[in-house]
Amino acid sequence: MLNRFISTIATRDLARTNKYRVQIQSPFGRSEAVEMLAESVSFPGQNVRSTPDELVYGPVREIAHAFTYGPFSITFICTSDMREKRWFETWQDFIVSKNSWEAKFYDDYVQDMMLYSLNRQDTDVYKVTIYEAFPKTINAQEFSYASNDAYQTITVEFAYRWWKSEKLDLSLNPEESGSGVRNALAERPEAEKGTIPLTVVTPEPDGKGYMYEPFGGILKPSVVSDRDYKPTPAQPVANVPDAFGFDPYSP
- The pLDDT tens digits for 10-37 are 888 898 999 999 999 999 888 899 999 9
User: Helix/strand/coil (H, E, C) string of the chain?
Assistant: CHHHHHHHHHHHCCCCCCCEEEECEECCEECHHHHCCEEEECCCCCEEEEEEECCCCCCCEEEEEEEECCCEEEEEECCCCCHHHHHHHHHHHHHECCCCCCECCHHHHCEEEEEEEECCCCCEEEEEEEEEEEEEEECCCCCCHHHCCCCCEEEEEEECCEEEEEECCCCCCHHHHCCCHHHHHHHCCCCEEEEEECCEEEECCCCCEEEECCCCCCEEEECCHHHCCCCCCCCCCCCCCCCCCCCCCCC
Q: What are phi and psi of 226, to 5 degrees?
A: -80, 0
- Residue 143 in contact with residue 207, Cβ under 8 Å? no
Cβ-in-10-Å burial (0-12, 13-18, 19+) of 235 comes to exposed
Note the pTM of the prediction, 2 decimals. 0.67
Instruction: Name 106's Cβ contacts closer than 8 Å, sequence gap at least 6.
Output: 132, 227, 229
Per-residue pLDDT of the chain (251 residues; tens, 9 = 90+): 888 888 888 888 898 999 999 999 999 888 899 999 999 999 999 999 999 998 888 889 999 999 999 999 999 999 999 999 999 999 999 999 999 999 999 999 999 999 999 998 989 999 999 999 999 999 999 999 998 889 999 999 999 999 999 988 765 544 444 444 444 444 444 433 333 333 333 333 444 333 333 333 333 333 333 444 444 444 444 443 433 444 544 43
CA 149 to chain centre: 30
- Residue 203 in contact with residue 209, Cβ under 8 Å? yes
